[in-house]
Structure 1
Amino acid sequence: MKSFTIVEINELLKGELVGTCDEQITGAEQLERATAQQITFIGSNKFAKLWEASKASVAIVDAKIKLEPGDNRALIRVKNADLAMATLLEALEPAPPVLEEDIHPTAVVHESVVLGKGCKIGAGCYVGKNVVLGDGVVLYPNVSIFDDSKIGHHTVVWSGTVIRERSEIGNHCIFHINVSIGADGFGYRPSDDGRGLVKIPHIGNVIIGNYVEIGANSCVDRGKFSATIIGDGCKIDNLVQIAHNCILGRSCIMAGHSGLAGSVTLGDGVIIGGSASIKDHTTINSGAVIGAGSGVMGDVDAGKTVLGYPATDARDMLKQWVALKRLSKN
């Protein structure tokens, strides 16, 4: 178990230490649940009132919050408590599971596969023809990588993930459990006789940039003609659907249960809230924010925040909700 003194933690965070505490810190926890051996954090005045009753010995606190440590307790004042806590959690994080063999005997690796230095391939994996794995790639048990795919260096792929043929994955990516990359897009048209549906083949691929993280059970479908593209630094939550020929710019965020229909384009830094749905052939321009549960039916301007179903300017939608609430009381 890792442990740190408050002085060591303060040095790591480059904060201002206020108060004293002789406890060894072995973990982190919410204010209400923390013990004397755990550190907590306070990012807004709303939670500052909970500090007095908390059993935590030390808290990381936004510098703007006025708070005193108390007896045998300490505060570490920082510019941004959320970012400081992220740094500390990285230091406290346990080591990941270790794959003791470079290639497990039960893995199936085609003879044409190109392996970089330090690759690890776990039990039950399948790596197909002409796949290229960069240095330090880790495939945990039961991952499937199909023909002609390329995975950049130090990418980690967790169990159950399937990467279909011709996919191109960047460096330092993380794919969590049961991610699907490159499945067929959802495309059908009524048959001439009107008695069935004709499947439209999707012959494109998926291209994913560097430092992309995709959460468990999320899907990125292949393009119909060219590629579905996920830009550098995008972070995709669990249970997210990205349909064929979507293009995401840099550092976009999609929260759980959100989805993009076919050929949606996101600019850089777009944020999409949980359970939001985006209509096909829609463009969400850079810096826009889509509120949770919203249904976007048309293009969204850069930097704009929209909300509701159908989504509209967030301020206008909030006014509508207030008006409806007033009407219901009459």
Structure 2
Amino acid sequence: MKSHSIAEINAVLKGELVGNTTHLITAPEQLEKAALNHITFIGNRKYAKLWSDSKASAAVIDETIPLEPGENRVLIKVKNADLAMAQILEFFDPGLPQLEEDIHTTAVVHPSANLGKGVKIGANCYIGKNVTIGDGTIVYPNVTIMDDTIIGMGCIIWSGTVIRERCEIGHQCIFHTNVSIGADGFGFRPSPDGRGLVKIPQIGNVVIGNGVEIGANSCVDRGKFSSTIIGDGSKIDNLVQIGHNSVMGRSCIMAGHSGLAGSVTLGDGVIIGGSASIKDHTTIHSGATVGAGSGVVGDVAAGKTVLGYPACDSRDMLKQWVALRKLVK
């Protein structure tokens, strides 16, 4: 187990030290669970009261929060405790699991595949015809990458992920466990005789930009024609559905259990809360926010926050909820 002095930790954070401790720090931990050799975080005034009962020897704290460290304890005051927490977690990160072989003996790699320098392919992977994988990409065990797919440099693809044919993935992407990229979009129409459904062929692909992270068990469906597109820097949580021919701009966020129906367009920096659902052919313009559990059935203007089911301006929805409570009374 690694241990570090407060001076070593603050060399990363460059914060203001208040107090001192002789204890070495072995890990970060939340306030209530922290032990003597832990560092914790206080980013909000409401948590400051927990510091006196915490066993942590050190805390990273927002500089606007008035608090005394106590005996043999230290506070590191920073401008943004959440961002400092990210730095600390990276500092203590034990690193990724290591694949001992460049290409495991049980992996099936088509002779036409083009693998860059430092690519790692884990056990029981399948790499199809004419696949290109960029330098330094790690493919963990039991991943399937189908024909003619292009994957950029420095990507991390976790076990169980399936990337279907002809998809295009940028650089520095992370796909967590069991992600599905390029499965058929959900397209059916009633058959002429009225006795069944006719499947609409889905012959497009998925194009994913640079620095995209997709959580476990999330699905990005291929386009019916052309492409489903995920913009640079977008972050998608676990259990998220992206319907066919949807287009997501740069640096969008989608929280868990949310979903886009087919042909939805998101501008840059859109935030979709957990369990929110977006109707097909809807446009949510740049900088807009959709509250958790909302159902969006029409376009949303840039920078606007909507809430509720069906979603409307968040202020109007909050007024409706207040009015309903008064009726109950």
Question: Does the TM-score normalized on the shorter chain lie above 0.5?
Answer: yes
Partner secondary structure for residue 49 of structure 1: helix
Match of 2:216 in 1: 216
Match of 2:303 in 1: 303
Equivalence map 1:26-37=2 (5 Å)? 26-37=26-37
2: CA distance, partners of 1:47 / 1:318: 27
Match of 1:204 in 2: 204
Q: Does 1:52 align with 2:31?
A: no
Alignment-mate amino acid for residue 199 of structure 1: K
Alignment-mate amino acid for residue 322 of structure 1: V
Give ranges in structure 1 of 5+ residues lacking alignment.
Answer: none
1: CA distance, partners of 2:81 / 2:285: 30
Deviations 1:221-261 (A, max 9, x none): 00011000000000000000000000000000000000000
2: CA distance, partners of 1:25 / 1:78: 18
1: CA distance, partners of 2:245 / 2:255: 20
Percent identity between matched residues is: 74
Match of 1:293 in 2: 293
Match of 2:96 in 1: 96
Equivalence map 1:230-269=2 (5 Å)? 230-269=230-269
Shift of 1:11: 1.2
Shift of 1:95: 1.7
2: CA distance, partners of 1:3 / 1:238: 32
Alignment-mate amino acid for residue 138 of structure 1: I
Match of 1:173 in 2: 173
1: CA distance, partners of 2:66 / 2:304: 33
Q: CA RMSD in A?
A: 0.6
Match of 2:5 in 1: 5
Match of 2:193 in 1: 193
Shift of 1:3: 1.7
Aligned residue pairs, count:
329
Shift of 1:104: 0.4
2: CA distance, partners of 1:68 / 1:271: 37
Match of 2:272 in 1: 272
Give ranges in structure 2 of 5+ residues lacking alignment.
Answer: none
1: CA distance, partners of 2:2 / 2:298: 50
2: CA distance, partners of 1:88 / 1:31: 15
2: CA distance, partners of 1:223 / 1:260: 13
Shift of 1:2: 2.1
Match of 1:62 in 2: 62
Q: Does 1:282 align with 2:287?
A: no
1: CA distance, partners of 2:272 / 2:6: 37
Partner secondary structure for residue 32 of structure 1: helix
Partner secondary structure for residue 223 of structure 1: coil
Match of 1:226 in 2: 226
Deviations 1:51-81 (A, max 9, x none): 1111111100011111111111100000000
Shift of 1:190: 0.5
1: CA distance, partners of 2:26 / 2:287: 38
1: CA distance, partners of 2:2 / 2:206: 40
2: CA distance, partners of 1:50 / 1:318: 32
Alignment-mate amino acid for residue 306 of structure 2: V
Deviations 1:258-299 (A, max 9, x none): 000000000000000000000000001111010000000000
TM-score (norm. length: structure 1): 0.99
Equivalence map 1:143-162=2 (5 Å)? 143-162=143-162
Shift of 1:4: 1.2
Runs of 4+ in 1 over 3 A off after TM superposition: none
Alignment-mate amino acid for residue 175 of structure 1: F
Match of 1:25 in 2: 25
